[in-house]
Copies of this chain bind each other. A is one copy, B any other.
Amino acid sequence: MTQLKIAIQGVPGSFHHQVALRNFGEDIEILDFDTFPSVAKSVVTGEADFGIMAIENSIAGAIFPNYDLIDRFELSIRDEYYLPIGHQFMALPGQTIEDITEVRSHPMALLQCKAFFAQHPHIRLKEDTDTASVARDIAAGNLKGVAAIASSIAAGIYGMEIIASDIQTIKNNFTRFIILQKEPLKPSTSVNKASTKVTIQNQKGGLAKLLTLIADNEIDLSKIQSIPVIEKPWEYAFFIDLVFENYTVYKNTIEEIQLNFGDVKIIGEYLSRK
Protein backbone atom coordinates (compact mmCIF):
# COMPACT_ATOMS: atom_id res chain seq x y z
CA MET A 1 0.00 0.00 0.00
CA THR A 2 1.23 3.45 -0.83
CA GLN A 3 2.05 5.63 2.16
CA LEU A 4 -0.11 8.69 2.68
CA LYS A 5 1.77 11.92 2.04
CA ILE A 6 1.12 14.51 4.76
CA ALA A 7 2.19 18.14 4.32
CA ILE A 8 3.31 19.96 7.48
CA GLN A 9 4.83 23.33 8.27
CA GLY A 10 8.14 23.03 10.11
CA VAL A 11 10.95 20.51 10.38
CA PRO A 12 10.82 16.98 11.80
CA GLY A 13 10.11 17.23 15.53
CA SER A 14 7.73 20.15 15.14
CA PHE A 15 4.28 20.21 16.72
CA HIS A 16 2.81 19.72 13.25
CA HIS A 17 4.89 16.54 12.92
CA GLN A 18 3.45 15.30 16.24
CA VAL A 19 -0.10 15.87 15.02
CA ALA A 20 0.64 14.05 11.76
CA LEU A 21 1.88 10.98 13.65
CA ARG A 22 -1.03 10.96 16.09
CA ASN A 23 -3.65 11.50 13.45
CA PHE A 24 -2.41 9.24 10.65
CA GLY A 25 -0.10 6.80 12.47
CA GLU A 26 3.63 6.14 11.98
CA ASP A 27 3.41 4.73 8.46
CA ILE A 28 3.23 8.04 6.56
CA GLU A 29 5.52 10.16 4.43
CA ILE A 30 6.07 13.66 5.83
CA LEU A 31 6.46 16.54 3.35
CA ASP A 32 7.86 19.41 5.40
CA PHE A 33 7.56 23.02 4.20
CA ASP A 34 8.88 26.36 5.42
CA THR A 35 5.59 28.21 5.14
CA PHE A 36 1.86 27.68 5.55
CA PRO A 37 1.18 28.85 1.96
CA SER A 38 3.49 26.07 0.73
CA VAL A 39 1.51 23.52 2.77
CA ALA A 40 -1.75 24.75 1.24
CA LYS A 41 -0.25 24.67 -2.24
CA SER A 42 0.98 21.08 -1.89
CA VAL A 43 -2.59 19.97 -1.02
CA VAL A 44 -4.06 21.93 -3.92
CA THR A 45 -1.64 20.43 -6.47
CA GLY A 46 -2.16 16.90 -5.13
CA GLU A 47 1.52 16.55 -4.15
CA ALA A 48 0.27 15.85 -0.59
CA ASP A 49 -2.83 13.82 0.26
CA PHE A 50 -3.59 15.93 3.31
CA GLY A 51 -2.19 19.00 5.03
CA ILE A 52 -1.97 19.95 8.69
CA MET A 53 -2.16 23.51 10.00
CA ALA A 54 -2.24 25.00 13.47
CA ILE A 55 -5.30 27.23 13.58
CA GLU A 56 -5.95 28.29 17.15
CA ASN A 57 -4.05 28.37 20.37
CA SER A 58 -5.89 28.22 23.66
CA ILE A 59 -3.75 31.00 25.08
CA ALA A 60 -2.83 33.34 22.30
CA GLY A 61 -5.91 32.94 20.12
CA ALA A 62 -6.29 32.42 16.41
CA ILE A 63 -3.42 31.88 14.02
CA PHE A 64 -5.37 34.06 11.73
CA PRO A 65 -3.70 34.08 8.30
CA ASN A 66 -4.30 30.33 8.06
CA TYR A 67 -8.07 30.79 7.85
CA ASP A 68 -7.41 33.17 5.03
CA LEU A 69 -5.17 30.65 3.26
CA ILE A 70 -7.76 27.86 3.51
CA ASP A 71 -10.39 30.19 2.13
CA ARG A 72 -8.29 31.44 -0.78
CA PHE A 73 -6.91 28.02 -1.76
CA GLU A 74 -10.45 26.57 -1.60
CA LEU A 75 -9.41 23.75 0.73
CA SER A 76 -11.75 21.77 2.99
CA ILE A 77 -11.35 21.02 6.68
CA ARG A 78 -11.91 17.28 7.22
CA ASP A 79 -11.01 17.00 10.90
CA GLU A 80 -9.55 18.83 13.88
CA TYR A 81 -7.02 17.79 16.52
CA TYR A 82 -6.26 19.29 19.93
CA LEU A 83 -2.60 18.78 20.84
CA PRO A 84 -1.51 19.49 24.41
CA ILE A 85 1.53 21.75 24.05
CA GLY A 86 4.45 21.16 26.40
CA HIS A 87 7.34 23.56 25.95
CA GLN A 88 10.72 22.05 26.86
CA PHE A 89 13.74 24.29 27.45
CA MET A 90 16.68 22.54 25.82
CA ALA A 91 20.33 23.06 24.89
CA LEU A 92 23.48 21.11 24.02
CA PRO A 93 24.11 18.45 26.71
CA GLY A 94 26.13 19.32 29.83
CA GLN A 95 24.96 22.92 30.30
CA THR A 96 22.99 24.44 33.16
CA ILE A 97 20.53 27.30 32.94
CA GLU A 98 23.27 29.71 34.10
CA ASP A 99 25.29 28.89 30.96
CA ILE A 100 22.44 29.98 28.70
CA THR A 101 22.50 33.61 27.54
CA GLU A 102 20.00 33.43 24.68
CA VAL A 103 16.86 31.49 23.83
CA ARG A 104 15.44 31.37 20.32
CA SER A 105 11.95 30.22 19.46
CA HIS A 106 8.70 31.06 17.74
CA PRO A 107 7.10 34.27 19.12
CA MET A 108 4.03 32.29 20.26
CA ALA A 109 6.23 29.88 22.25
CA LEU A 110 8.18 32.77 23.83
CA LEU A 111 4.88 34.43 24.74
CA GLN A 112 3.60 31.26 26.37
CA CYS A 113 6.71 30.96 28.55
CA LYS A 114 7.07 34.59 29.59
CA ALA A 115 6.64 33.94 33.34
CA PHE A 116 9.54 31.46 33.22
CA PHE A 117 11.85 33.92 31.46
CA ALA A 118 10.83 36.75 33.76
CA GLN A 119 12.55 34.70 36.49
CA HIS A 120 15.70 34.33 34.36
CA PRO A 121 16.37 37.87 33.15
CA HIS A 122 19.94 37.01 32.07
CA ILE A 123 18.48 35.10 29.12
CA ARG A 124 17.87 37.20 26.03
CA LEU A 125 14.74 36.30 24.01
CA LYS A 126 15.11 36.11 20.26
CA GLU A 127 12.20 35.45 17.93
CA ASP A 128 12.72 32.77 15.30
CA THR A 129 10.43 31.28 12.67
CA ASP A 130 9.98 27.89 14.30
CA THR A 131 10.50 25.85 17.47
CA ALA A 132 12.08 22.56 16.36
CA SER A 133 14.37 24.10 13.72
CA VAL A 134 16.18 26.07 16.44
CA ALA A 135 17.00 22.77 18.19
CA ARG A 136 18.26 21.42 14.86
CA ASP A 137 20.41 24.52 14.23
CA ILE A 138 21.92 24.50 17.75
CA ALA A 139 22.87 20.85 17.27
CA ALA A 140 24.24 21.40 13.75
CA GLY A 141 26.25 24.48 14.75
CA ASN A 142 27.33 23.09 18.15
CA LEU A 143 26.14 26.40 19.64
CA LYS A 144 26.92 26.65 23.36
CA GLY A 145 24.98 29.13 25.49
CA VAL A 146 21.95 29.10 23.20
CA ALA A 147 18.71 27.32 24.10
CA ALA A 148 15.60 26.28 22.18
CA ILE A 149 12.00 25.87 23.30
CA ALA A 150 10.62 22.84 21.52
CA SER A 151 8.93 19.47 21.95
CA SER A 152 10.48 16.43 23.63
CA ILE A 153 10.33 14.71 20.21
CA ALA A 154 12.62 17.46 18.88
CA ALA A 155 15.01 16.95 21.82
CA GLY A 156 15.22 13.27 20.92
CA ILE A 157 15.70 13.83 17.18
CA TYR A 158 18.44 16.47 17.55
CA GLY A 159 20.24 15.12 20.67
CA MET A 160 19.42 18.08 22.92
CA GLU A 161 19.23 17.96 26.71
CA ILE A 162 16.07 19.24 28.41
CA ILE A 163 17.14 21.71 31.13
CA ALA A 164 13.62 22.63 32.29
CA SER A 165 10.38 20.82 31.47
CA ASP A 166 6.94 22.22 30.68
CA ILE A 167 7.98 25.84 31.12
CA GLN A 168 4.75 27.25 29.65
CA THR A 169 2.99 29.61 32.08
CA ILE A 170 -0.41 27.98 31.76
CA LYS A 171 -0.16 24.22 32.00
CA ASN A 172 -3.50 23.43 30.37
CA ASN A 173 -2.30 24.62 26.96
CA PHE A 174 -3.73 23.13 23.79
CA THR A 175 -3.25 24.06 20.17
CA ARG A 176 -6.04 23.29 17.76
CA PHE A 177 -4.87 21.87 14.44
CA ILE A 178 -6.99 21.22 11.38
CA ILE A 179 -6.57 18.52 8.75
CA LEU A 180 -7.06 19.78 5.22
CA GLN A 181 -7.97 18.14 1.95
CA LYS A 182 -8.50 19.28 -1.61
CA GLU A 183 -11.75 17.46 -2.44
CA PRO A 184 -15.02 19.08 -1.42
CA LEU A 185 -16.67 17.46 1.59
CA LYS A 186 -19.19 14.66 1.29
CA PRO A 187 -22.34 15.50 3.23
CA SER A 188 -22.58 13.39 6.37
CA THR A 189 -25.04 13.50 9.23
CA SER A 190 -22.48 12.09 11.67
CA VAL A 191 -20.74 15.45 12.07
CA ASN A 192 -21.53 18.03 14.75
CA LYS A 193 -19.25 20.96 13.95
CA ALA A 194 -18.86 23.28 10.96
CA SER A 195 -16.35 25.97 9.99
CA THR A 196 -17.96 28.67 7.87
CA LYS A 197 -17.27 32.04 6.30
CA VAL A 198 -20.32 34.29 6.40
CA THR A 199 -20.45 37.52 4.41
CA ILE A 200 -23.16 40.01 5.38
CA GLN A 201 -24.10 43.51 4.36
CA ASN A 202 -22.57 46.00 6.77
CA GLN A 203 -25.93 47.18 8.07
CA LYS A 204 -26.11 48.25 11.70
CA GLY A 205 -27.08 45.23 13.79
CA GLY A 206 -26.64 42.71 10.96
CA LEU A 207 -24.33 40.52 13.00
CA ALA A 208 -26.66 40.68 16.03
CA LYS A 209 -29.56 39.41 13.90
CA LEU A 210 -27.42 36.66 12.43
CA LEU A 211 -26.29 35.42 15.85
CA THR A 212 -29.83 35.62 17.21
CA LEU A 213 -30.99 33.33 14.41
CA ILE A 214 -28.16 30.89 15.21
CA ALA A 215 -28.96 30.95 18.94
CA ASP A 216 -32.70 30.52 18.30
CA ASN A 217 -31.88 27.28 16.49
CA GLU A 218 -29.94 26.01 19.55
CA ILE A 219 -26.64 26.15 17.69
CA ASP A 220 -23.53 27.05 19.66
CA LEU A 221 -20.88 29.42 18.44
CA SER A 222 -17.40 28.13 19.31
CA LYS A 223 -15.47 30.86 17.50
CA ILE A 224 -15.99 34.14 15.69
CA GLN A 225 -13.52 36.46 13.96
CA SER A 226 -14.33 39.47 11.87
CA ILE A 227 -12.41 39.94 8.62
CA PRO A 228 -12.32 43.18 6.72
CA VAL A 229 -13.37 42.69 3.07
CA ILE A 230 -11.18 45.33 1.54
CA GLU A 231 -12.26 44.95 -2.06
CA LYS A 232 -15.87 45.61 -0.99
CA PRO A 233 -15.79 47.98 1.96
CA TRP A 234 -19.57 47.88 2.38
CA GLU A 235 -19.46 44.18 3.18
CA TYR A 236 -18.41 42.48 6.36
CA ALA A 237 -17.22 38.90 6.70
CA PHE A 238 -16.73 36.54 9.62
CA PHE A 239 -15.16 33.16 10.18
CA ILE A 240 -17.66 31.39 12.42
CA ASP A 241 -17.42 27.88 13.87
CA LEU A 242 -20.74 26.28 14.79
CA VAL A 243 -21.40 23.31 17.07
CA PHE A 244 -24.79 21.60 16.76
CA GLU A 245 -26.68 18.50 17.86
CA ASN A 246 -28.97 18.02 14.89
CA TYR A 247 -27.55 18.04 11.36
CA THR A 248 -30.88 18.87 9.71
CA VAL A 249 -31.47 21.86 11.99
CA TYR A 250 -27.94 23.07 11.19
CA LYS A 251 -28.53 22.68 7.42
CA ASN A 252 -31.83 24.55 7.63
CA THR A 253 -30.14 27.34 9.59
CA ILE A 254 -27.48 27.71 6.89
CA GLU A 255 -30.23 27.96 4.26
CA GLU A 256 -32.02 30.59 6.32
CA ILE A 257 -28.79 32.60 6.62
CA GLN A 258 -28.30 32.39 2.84
CA LEU A 259 -31.83 33.68 2.30
CA ASN A 260 -31.69 36.54 4.81
CA PHE A 261 -28.11 37.67 5.33
CA GLY A 262 -25.94 36.95 2.34
CA ASP A 263 -23.32 34.38 1.52
CA VAL A 264 -22.23 31.32 3.52
CA LYS A 265 -19.23 29.26 2.49
CA ILE A 266 -18.87 25.91 4.27
CA ILE A 267 -15.16 25.38 4.83
CA GLY A 268 -15.56 22.12 6.72
CA GLU A 269 -18.03 19.80 8.45
CA TYR A 270 -16.50 17.39 10.94
CA LEU A 271 -16.71 15.86 14.39
CA SER A 272 -15.78 18.11 17.29
CA ARG A 273 -12.76 16.61 19.08
CA LYS A 274 -12.94 18.80 22.15
Contacts and interface: CB of A to CB of B under 8 A. Distances in A.
A64 B127 CA distance: 16
A46 to B, nearest CB: 17
A156 interface: no
A223 B220 contact: no
A234 B81 CA distance: 21
A231 B170 contact: yes
A65 B58 contact: no
A211 interface: yes
A74 to B, nearest CB: 14
Interface in A122-147: 125-129
Interface residues of A, number: 53
Given A65-B61, A230-B59, A34 B125 contact: yes
Interface residues of chain A: helix, strand, loop or mixed (majority)? mixed
B227 A170 contact: no
Given A110-B35, A125-B37, A127-B129, A220 B207 contact: no
A23 interface: no
A190 interface: no
B37 A230 contact: no
A189 interface: no
Interface in A205-238: 205, 207-209, 211-212, 214-216, 218, 220-221, 223-228, 230-231, 238
Nearest to A205: B215
A201 interface: no
A215 B212 CA distance: 12
A173 B227 CA distance: 14
Interface of A: 34-38, 56, 58-65, 67-69, 107-108, 110-111, 114, 125-129, 170, 172-174, 204-205, 207-209, 211-212, 214-216, 218, 220-221, 223-228, 230-231, 238
